[in-house]
Chain A
């Protein structure tokens, strides 16, 4: 149980375009979802926390107008990188926490974004 999927797993886009990444909890209801970014050889960096039906809480330094997060249902959250630039190229990972779980976060497999 507690499976989280992400789509797409890899995406290449041109500078200036927008990219949407989906995060789904497949067998549980995720009240809270987290979006992380990870640059090569660096640790996870939390970008934002989203609770179903409410606005996401962004970490300091993360532009909310650039990284749009929607958590419209208990099983789906989306991250849209708007007007992407090469410096946005990174590994984006979502995680989810359910109603009955401890504070454990279940991670999706990640999305490798390359902006050319």
Chain B
């Protein structure tokens, strides 16, 4: 079966760094997305990885290891507005997104 695993909740301090992990099992693999979702709002795109390695985009970076079925989202210089849920989604062989349950990130001052 297909499965995306990520922690349910994480807490971090303003100004710090946090890494949100995601492991995936999909039938075929065509990349992995990270989305951010604030409470009561729709998800917004953060990153897409299809090749191994780290992609940096400002304060956010995303890493992929296809051999390990593993990805992480790295958030630096955390701000209070980063408090949100972070959704990991793998793309399977039918180009469908398989969604994780999301990681709720709580930022404390």
Neighbouring B residues of A46 by C-beta, 8 Å: 97, 99
B102 near A104 (CB under 8 angstroms)? no
A93 near B45 (CB under 8 angstroms)? no
In this assembly, does A98 line the interface, its C-beta being within 8 Å of a C-beta of chain B? no
Contact-residue bracket for chain B: 20 to 34
In this assembly, does B48 line the interface, its C-beta being within 8 Å of a C-beta of chain A? yes
Which of A60-68, A70-78, A81-89, A106-114 interfaces with chain B?
Answer: A106-114
A interface secondary structure, majority: loop
Neighbouring B residues of A42 by C-beta, 8 Å: 101
In this assembly, does A43 line the interface, its C-beta being within 8 Å of a C-beta of chain B? yes
Known: A46-B97, A108-B42. 10 other contacts (CB 8 A): A43-B85, A49-B96, A91-B40, A93-B42, A102-B48, A103-B95, A105-B97, A106-B45, A107-B44, A112-B40
Closest 3 CB pairs of A and B: A107-B42, A43-B101, A110-B42
